[in-house]
Structure 1
Amino acid sequence: DWQGGWERLSVPRSILEVISRSDARTVSDLPFVLPFDSVEYYTAEGIVRPRSLTYVSSQNRPEEAILAECRPRNTTVKLHRSLLDASSANFVLWPGCVELSRCTGCCNSAMLRCEATQTQLRTLKVAKIEYTRKKRLRMRETVVQVEEHLACQCQCRTDATCASHQVFNAAQCRCISRRRGKRRRPRCTDETCMSGKQRNQ
């Protein structure tokens, strides 16, 4: 599973790093990115070499998947009561959701995440519909502030899930072994273990 993280994949890390640094957006871009010099590339039309890859137009050819790049897109965002008052539950906001520009898309690595690098606050006029103690509805106009994303970038995940024997290295943006860089204590022989016990007695 690609999204499961590099540590559970049997694909060489060097190959995954090439993919994560590439600008490939379609399947046809990959043969020119990956080190396929000695590997056959399988297509729907047959087996070809990447250096001699040619594109054949056909009405029956399947539509090529395009990478959903990390960028701002119009996204449906819920307007929660907490934007106005988190302590009260006797009112609702209308509309319940709006379209805002938010960072979405995927990155070429499970260790990267599409995050906002530039944001702005938008002030929206909404309706607060309140149910009073007298069991009456009261509606009034109010404003809430919501965050909109202006620019995005694939950045290192700080909440990456590592295996129990690993720790997350933010500088390398990957999980590394806890024992890396630590010298293991030499195992004692029968003679050295016995001498150590005698000293402790």
Structure 2
Amino acid sequence: MDLLQKTSESNMKSQLLVFLSLFCFWTVISEQMPKSMNAEEGLPEDVLRMIAQADIRSINDLEDLLGIEAKDSPGSRPKYKIGYSRTKSAGCKTRVVSVEVPRYKVDPTSAGFFLWPSCVEIERCSGCCNTKTYKCIPSLANYRPFQIAKLTYRYGRKELTMHTVTIREHLSCNCTELATLHQPRFPPKYYRQSTDN
């Protein structure tokens, strides 16, 4: 019985040693691996910063900025150069978008009413920045007033009232480095999406 017990203890010790060795190996290897994996990590930080802050509207602009000429990828023989003058960047700027009028701004105490218009057009920042480390955000905004009609039905009578609702409008935008913006504590799926009203 003692021999069997010694053998099982020996096996447990050897398994524990193997586990600890693998754990130590993984810890050393994982510290040497890059912390963030993204498609742009092979580029130097100064090049990424230069690209992010440049006004690139075409592939020609990118070629001029970098001082190099774009080459076709191996094995592809396009009949014409795609996008040299045809591709447009959806750069960071204000664009007209449709925004739903927040019902709580008209009457936070009731739900039984009809609004017209239920949506309004307003300028909002949208578009891409040149790198993933920058985000298009408003640099200047104000609240724009809208006249909204509220229709209610009380005691068998229709009642139409006018209300002024202010909705946030973006006046100008810029690409801002994500590191300078507030970093959330939890991943975005934990937060309710804002309508920015």
Paired with 2:131 and 2:81, the residues of 1 have a C-alpha distance of 28
Matches within 5 A, 1:2-81: 7-9=36-38, 10-14=41-45, 15-34=47-66, 36=68, 41-43=70-72, 62-63=82-83, 64-81=86-103
Contact 1:81/1:92 (<8 A) preserved: no
Number of residue pairs the alignment of both structures matches: 143
Q: Deviations over 1:66-91 (max 9, x none)?
A: 22222222111111202222332112
| Structure 1 residue 109 corresponds to structure 2 residue 141 | no
How much has 1:135 moved relative to structure 2?
5.8
Paired with 2:107 and 2:44, the residues of 1 have a C-alpha distance of 48
Q: Deviations over 1:24-81 (max 9, x none)?
A: 2212222222364xxx73248x99xxxxxxxxxx9x6545222222222211111120
Contact 1:102/1:148 (<8 A) preserved: yes
SS in 2 for 1:86: coil
Which blocks of at least 5 consecutive residues in structure 1 are unaligned? 1-5, 48-57, 165-201
Contact 2:150/2:162 (<8 A) preserved: yes
Contact 2:53/2:175 (<8 A) preserved: no
Paired with 1:76 and 1:65, the residues of 2 have a C-alpha distance of 26
| Structure 1 residue 155 corresponds to structure 2 residue 176 | yes
Paired with 1:91 and 1:124, the residues of 2 have a C-alpha distance of 18
Larger Rg: 2
Residue 124 of structure 1: aligned partner: 146
The structure in which a higher percent of residues are strand is 1
TM-score for the superposition, normalised by structure 2: 0.58
135 and 61 in structure 1: CA distance in 2 versus 1, 3 angstrom threshold:
farther
How much has 1:156 moved relative to structure 2?
3.1
Contact 1:112/1:154 (<8 A) preserved: yes
Paired with 1:103 and 1:41, the residues of 2 have a C-alpha distance of 30
Q: CA RMSD in A?
A: 3.3
Matches within 5 A, 1:188-199: none
State the identity as a percent. Answer: 30
Which blocks of at least 5 consecutive residues in structure 2 are unaligned? 1-34, 188-197
Contact 2:135/2:175 (<8 A) preserved: yes
Give the 4+ runs in structure 1 shifted more than 6 A: none
How much has 1:112 moved relative to structure 2?
2.1
Paired with 2:152 and 2:132, the residues of 1 have a C-alpha distance of 44
2:160 corresponds to which of 139, 144, 168 = 139
Contact 1:78/1:97 (<8 A) preserved: yes
The structure in which a higher percent of residues are helix is 2
Report the residue type matching 1:11 in the other structure: G
Contact 1:112/1:155 (<8 A) preserved: yes
